[in-house]
Amino acid sequence: MSLSDSILSINNDLPIRTELPVHSGKVRSVYWLTEQDSRRLIAQKNYPVPMDTPLAIMVISDRISAFDCIWHGEEGMQGVPGKGAALNAISNHWFGLFKQQGLADSHILDIPHPFVWIVQKAKPVMIEAICRQYITGSMWRAYDKGERDFCGIQLEEGLTQDSKLSQLLMTPSTKGILKGIPDVPEADDVNITRQNITDNFTAFNFESESDVALYERLLTEGFAVISDALEQIGQIFVDTKFEFGYVKDVSGKNKLIYMDEVGTPDSSRIWDAEKYQQGEVVENSKEGFRQLLLNHFPDPDILLNKDRMPERLALAKDNALPVEVLLQISKTYIGIAEKITGKKLLLSDNPKAEIIKILREDYQLID
């Protein structure tokens, strides 16, 4: 089996029975099951949800995105070996820990394969919930240019790049383009304040104003759980993005849950603690890849400037990255996944064939 067979780059062409178009994001594809299949699985597998709950199959890929573009390698490499399995394994680990510690559930009902989740339909909260423990990345770049107000929070003078902040900061931004909210530009991924959220909580899909405080508690407590666990394995949890939504419990009551992915190298920055104490930042997350791209291309402004998006997309399309770059990223993702879970990551020679076999034989979702 070739290396390219082991990389799942296209994940929206599986023959899963569905009546709706497949939704494909940068990394995952979502297949909405028919009402009949959803009901059958809820009954057969005893999922703790109402019988009329819509279910979906989420299939992760090994694609790598950065700066809102999908990147590829030489020799036909369309992704990073082991990346999808690593991301799912890490998320599954943290979701399990959150549940164990009584924080909140996730939207995942079943894990048929390392690349696959069966999830219940969630109504997403329209916020990218970002938590920061250190000043780095875009926040440092803005601070260095003189900005001191971040999402309504005033930062003190005299901070240095990559230094620890005096407190954990919540710096939310919009998820998607939200219209008609006073003082919030109609654009994706714009910073917002707590006041914006509490004044317009229904526009962000919160069911009550008290749920804004609940989301903040789940955000900070979730961050602390991951941060403490990473500290035990010599890693620093620098910053992360969480996403939340509402699902129905078995009695049909709405509850706020964690959704998408949590604490992964795609959604977070993770640093090696020992190296940091020695004054060096070593990334165990996608940030290392982003830095590599910024150093690799002669004009990094293309990658940082949203107004140059057409040039950026062309850059990603026209430049195959060296194979060793993608293999190095693979090593980073697999390494951090095995550290976090304490288990060896089992990689498949042909994940697509495996997924089809399992969903056909064990779930009867493929004819």
**pTM summary value:** 0.95
CATH topology of domain 3-122+340-361: Phosphorylase Kinase; domain 1 (3.30.200)
Q: Summarize pLDDT for 222-235 with one digit per residue, the tens.
A: 999 999 999 999 99
> Domain ranges in the chain?
3-122+340-361, 123-277
In this predicted structure, what is the pLDDT of residue 2? 62
Whole-number Cα distances in Å, 73 to 61, 221, 320, 334, 338: 15, 38, 4, 18, 24
* Widest Cα–Cα separation across the chain: 63
- Rounded CA-CA distance 317/191 in Å is 29
Angle of CA points 148, 236, 67, to nearest 5°: 60
In this predicted structure, what is the pLDDT of residue 6? 87
CATH superfamily, domain 123-277, is ATP-grasp fold, B domain (3.30.470.20)
CA-wise closest residue to 281 among 175, 163, 131: 163
**What is the enclosing helix (H) or strand (E) of 142?**
helix 137-144
Tens-digit pLDDT profile for the chain (367 aa)?
Answer: 466 678 999 999 999 999 999 999 999 999 999 999 999 999 999 999 999 999 999 999 999 999 999 999 999 999 999 999 999 999 999 999 999 999 999 999 999 999 999 999 999 999 999 999 999 998 999 999 999 999 999 999 999 999 999 999 999 999 999 999 999 999 988 999 999 999 999 999 999 999 999 999 999 999 999 999 999 999 999 999 999 999 999 999 999 999 999 999 999 999 999 999 999 999 999 999 999 999 999 999 999 998 999 999 999 999 999 999 999 999 999 999 999 999 999 898 999 999 999 999 999 999 9
Chain-centroid distance of CA 34 in Å reads 26
Tokens at 274, concatenated: 């020992």
Tokens at 349, concatenated: 């020679």
CA-wise closest residue to 181 among 163, 157, 197: 197
